[in-house]
Amino acid sequence: MEHKKIINIAVIAHVDAGKSTLVDALLQQSGVFHENAQIVDLIMDSDALEKERGITIYAKNCAINYKDYKINIVDTPGHADFSSEIERIIKTVDTVILLVDSSEGPMPQTRFVLQKSLELGLRPILLINKIDKKDQRAAEVVNEALELFMNLGATDEQLDFPVLYGIAKQGIVQKELTDQGENLIPLFETIINHVTPYPDLTSEPLRMQVSSLAFDEYIGRLGIGRLFAGTISEGQEVTIAKNDGQLAKGKITGVFVYEGLKRIKKQTAVAGDIVIIAGISDISIGDTICDKNNVVAMEPITIEEPTLAMNFLVNKSPFAGKEGKFVTTRNIKERLEKELEVNVGLRVQPLSDSSVDGFRVSGRGELHLSILLENLRREGFELAVSKPEVLLRRDDVNVLLEPMEEVIITVPDEYSGTVIGKLNLRKGTMLNMDMVGTHTKITYSIPTRGLIGYQREFINATHGEGILVRKFSGYEQYKGEIPSRGNGVLIANELGTTAAYALGALEERGSLFVTPGTKVYEGMIVGIHSRSNDLVVNPCKNKKLTNTRSAGNDDAIRLSPPIIMNLEESLEFIENDELVEITPLNIRLRKKWLNASERKQYEKQEQTPVE
């Protein structure tokens, strides 16, 4: 079989640096689409949540041809919570295109993805994107990137990286900042000149490692990964070296490769290509597909451990089962087991308390878990979830450790003092502060605990003008107690429908989450109290009607717009004695104990000192 020149590349960057936009341009300029094809923006972000949020959540593959080369492209997530996607994909590529914003420079997540690439010995290509920005500082950003390479221990060969400049949105890349770019040819040429195509290992025994999974309703579970050696064919009998060391027999029933965005069926695939295989129903990430007579397992794919956990509980509110299709423990268990097959950064355990129906689910961050919950909600699931908790650990000398994050904040100068004060209260330590024009750029090291519930407060404190980016940085000694939410909540005292008359009176006590005509139940949270204590209220009370009429008494009630919180904001807002009730139609906040007397009993137990 004739050997093909195959190069696999990954596009890596911080969130919103332009990765998916660059992949769009690469696909368009390589002739993947027909002349009359209707092309949408962010082609690779095919998931509904990815399109809505404008972020890449799942790593995805495509392939283009340039001259006599086949270039497989992996579009990776930029958000720290989905770094497990990057960790396993990076082993399948020959180089990475490191995309850096010409204004922002290297961000926390840039450091993470670059470190993984350098550890594997890859030689990156640096592309300074968005050079059309008015505040671009491309020359400084190149120096900052070089400094980052050196800090991460890059070799002399890795430090000799090519630098390109571009505007991904316009499909332009140029070799010098002063050039007049027209297309992506400088990038294509740099890739084929900088990277040696995968060597011809087709005569060696089969060796392929599965780096991601997919599912097809017709052919079942699919394993996706790089074919490191040999060839793989439809009908071939193989041995699977599992991640846990066990061996299993299998037969390949289908072989596919990428051409453009499509999955193309092949009789045989060759070494170097990214291949999709069918026929092995229990294939898992990290498994090695080997020749049946020559089993050589590859090094297991290790994923960093989760840092955050929450309880997924069966919904037992008075409205349970009225809006969702899947509401039982069995439904939730089956769906979480299915998610574990493809979401390698996730951990699921049954709750240790046998009296509570649910599971403890651990992930890499609030966004990682909230994306899962949002998908469950859209699929028709109904459940309740607890406040996110950080996962603590102990070191060799039994010192309690907690996860820490590096946070880079850019805010207008007038809000910097407020932000610094709040982060200090949350046990943060300032690492650096720079003045950039009319803005202040602050770098903090802060416990993950300190950032739970801070996002909304940050947006309010900076009037929506601040930018906060964060990255897990490791474990440090436990920093002590962190102040919780300052305000109490307004709690409904009965089952019913809210009335404008009652809500008008409650506005004096705080800010509301509900509008007139909203169905509520006892123990449901209907607003934020203006004071620190919780307050039980009746939002369903109607005005008593009389025959007496007087001027001014019956004016229309004008209510302020309610606070509408999305799923992430709801998870950040709740305290330990509260839950978020999630259904396909609504997101509600509630107390764990709906009855007032049960809540008092719980409070007494909490206040009782442990001897």
- Binding site annotation covers 80? no
- Measuring CA to CA, which residue among 237, 234, 238, 208 is closest to residue 223? 208
Task: Kindly report the backbone phi and psi dihedral angles of residue 542, in degrees, each rounded to the nearest multiple of 5, phi listed first.
Answer: -100, 155
CA distance 193 to 199: 15
- Binding site annotation covers 131? yes
Structure tokens given for 86: 């990057």
Q: What is the DSSP letter of 545?
A: P
Q: Is 259 exposed, middle or buried (0-12, 13-18, 19+ CB in 10 A)?
A: middle
- Binding site annotation covers 30? no
Structure tokens given for 348: 């699921």
- Binding site annotation covers 130? yes
- Binding site annotation covers 19? yes
- Binding site annotation covers 276? no
Dihedral sign, Cα of residue 380, residue 384, residue 390, residue 395: negative
| Kind plus residue range of the DSSP H or E element containing 169 | none
Secondary structure class of 215 (helix, strand, coil): strand
- Binding site annotation covers 17? yes
- Measuring CA to CA, which residue among 342, 383, 344 is closest to residue 363? 344
Structure tokens given for 138: 């491309």
- Binding site annotation covers 132? yes
Q: Which amino acid is at 50?
A: E
CA distance 373 to 376: 5
Taking the chain, what is the end-to-end CA distance rounded to the nearest angstrom? 76
Alpha carbon 562 to chain centroid, angstroms: 28
Q: Which amino acid is at 257?
A: V
CA distance 562 to 374: 22
| E runs forming strands in 60-159 | 60-66, 69-75, 95-101, 125-129
- Residue that the structure tokens 């990255």 belong to: 471
**Binding residue numbers for GTP:** 16-21, 129-132
**Binding residue numbers:** 16-21, 129-132
